[in-house]
Amino acid sequence: MIKHPTATVYVLHRFDDSEWKVGLVEHPLWGKWVPAGGHVENDENAAEAALREAAEETGLRGLRLLAPEGPEIPADYPSVDHEDYSGHVPLPWWVIEFDVARGDRALAERHVHVDHQFVAVTDEPEPATKGAHPFGWYSAAELATIPVFTDVVATASHLLERASRLVSARTPPVSPAVQ
């Protein structure tokens, strides 16, 4: 079966009342709210695709990927600048394969998405530009009020419960902000 690399990003923001929310877009084919994401282009890696797709679909700027839990790259690794992270490709939090039974815009026939799932934060909750899809911020409780896949609810709820700890444990973030 044909496999396409894709990237998804769960974008988190802490609002003034200290409540964390996840940013979701309404998927034009599925009619459900999902994290931003899409296919990895030939000239980018999965982390770059995640940031590009999130910016295009939501209109958000200032997105920063968070590193997943796990060992850091060794401090003396020769081709990585540990001050600006150049040379380091951010790792996804999860890589999940799922069947696209009816096809999609990239390929009309059945295929598999190898989805690289990232987590990002933004300090700027208002989109700088109009995104390609309707966009909104949702708390864990609000996820029950919108059409959403169960895996999105599970993942978003997991991240929102731990958001303060996850963000503070990963400062600075692994990637520079996308402008």
What residues does each domain of the chain span? 3-168
Rounded distance between C-alpha atoms, residue 27 and residue 57, angstroms: 10
Give the pTM. Answer: 0.87
Rounded distance between C-alpha atoms, residue 80 and residue 9, angstroms: 24
Across 114-138, average pLDDT: 93
What is the pLDDT, as a whole number, of residue 87?
A: 65
Reported as a single tens digit per residue, the pLDDT across 73-116 is: 777 777 766 566 566 778 899 999 989 888 777 777 888 999 99
Classified as helix, coil or strand, 6 is strand
What percentage of the chain carries pLDDT values higher than 90? Answer: 58
What is the pLDDT, as a whole number, of residue 160?
A: 96
List, as one string, the DSSP characters of 67-88: PPSSPPPPTT-TT--TTT-TT-
Topology annotation, domain 3-168? Nucleoside Triphosphate Pyrophosphohydrolase (3.90.79)
What is the pLDDT, as a whole number, of residue 84?
A: 60
Measured CA angle at 47 (ends 129, 130), to 5 deg: 10
Rounded distance between C-alpha atoms, residue 50 and residue 43, angstroms: 13
What contacts 17, CB < 8 A, 6 or more positions away?
none
Q: Please, where are the H alpha helices in the chain?
A: 46-58, 150-168
What is the pLDDT, as a whole number, of residue 85?
A: 57
Rounded distance between C-alpha atoms, residue 7 and residue 118, angstroms: 7
What is the pLDDT, as a whole number, of residue 100?
A: 84
